[in-house]
Structure 1
């Protein structure tokens, strides 16, 4: 029962952090005149933080067989993350934080529904229904209205 309350709250918090992070990246981008060094700094800080956590918790690296057993698309996620950070850092100061995030969220909704429907990347299969399609359309309509 607790998960039904805590998990959505955590997801909302994570979602709220995305435009905050994008705003901070945009500040660095404007100051430094490019998106590449701010992104490098962001990933360097993230690497340092996770390295500290791994060492502090004594987490052992996975076995070699586990590393090579991952489907190749599992590692492409890092490239997607890099592109996401670079592009939101580039777009936010040019089109406004709200507009950039509205488009990102719309893309996330459409992609998430397709991933669920086709159960790709090991996702749990969630069939499209008229209720789900209607809800998605209302979300996208709300995003479109809020954009203006």
Structure 2
């Protein structure tokens, strides 16, 4: 039951992605520069998260690593976010939000299946069962049907 509720939260969080994609796509079109549009988008997120950290963290925020250094690759998440946001805002005006997000979801599921199967980056190891593979194939089929529609 807890997993279902958490998945429901993820679905609701997913509701903002099409809106973000459309807004960023429009911004990229109006600014005629996808990198500037992505920068503006990330600046808005940075300001919002800075305010949340300041409101929810008493005093000056501290990074606690319990004496361990943070692995370098943990700092690359923003880079991947920038690639995704820039790609989406460039593609939405060309092929539409539904096609972009359908393809992005397929890409996310395929990579997530690989990451789970091999336990990459410390995620729990979950074998790519035949049912999971069929699920991904159905997502690919759905993407193709959405594109033809």
TM-score for the superposition, normalised by structure 2: 0.89
1:72-101 deviation line (CA, Å, top 9, x unaligned): 221111110011111111111112211111
How many correspondences in the alignment? 146
- 2:48 matched to which residue of 1? 49
Q: Does 1:25 align with 2:24?
A: yes
Q: CA deviation at 1:65?
A: 6.1
For structure 1, which segment, 49-58 or 4-13, has the greater mean C-alpha deviation from structure 2 after superposition? Answer: 4-13
For structure 2, list consecutive stretches of 5 or more residues without a partner in the other structure: none
- Residue 5 of structure 1 and its aligned partner are, at CA, apart by 3.9
Corresponding residue for residue 63 of structure 2: 62
Superimposed CA distance per residue, residues 108-132 of structure 1 (whole angstroms, 9 cap, x where no aligned partner): 0100000000000111100011122
| Structure 1 stretches lacking a partner, 5+ long | none
Which residue in the other structure is 2:139 paired with?
139
CA distance in 2, matches of 1:130, 1:15: 26
Superposed CA RMSD: 1.7
Deviation at 1:16, TM superposition (A): 2.1
SS in 2 for 1:38: helix
Q: 1:118 to 1:81 in 2, by over 3 A?
A: same
In the TM superposition, 1:42-121 aligns within 5 A as: 42-58=41-57, 60-63=61-64, 69-121=69-121
TM-score, normalised with respect to structure 1:
0.89
Residues 38-73 of structure 1 show CA distances to partners (whole Å, capped at 9, x for unaligned) of 21221111111111111111252213666x622222
Instruction: Name the counterpart of 2:13.
Output: 14
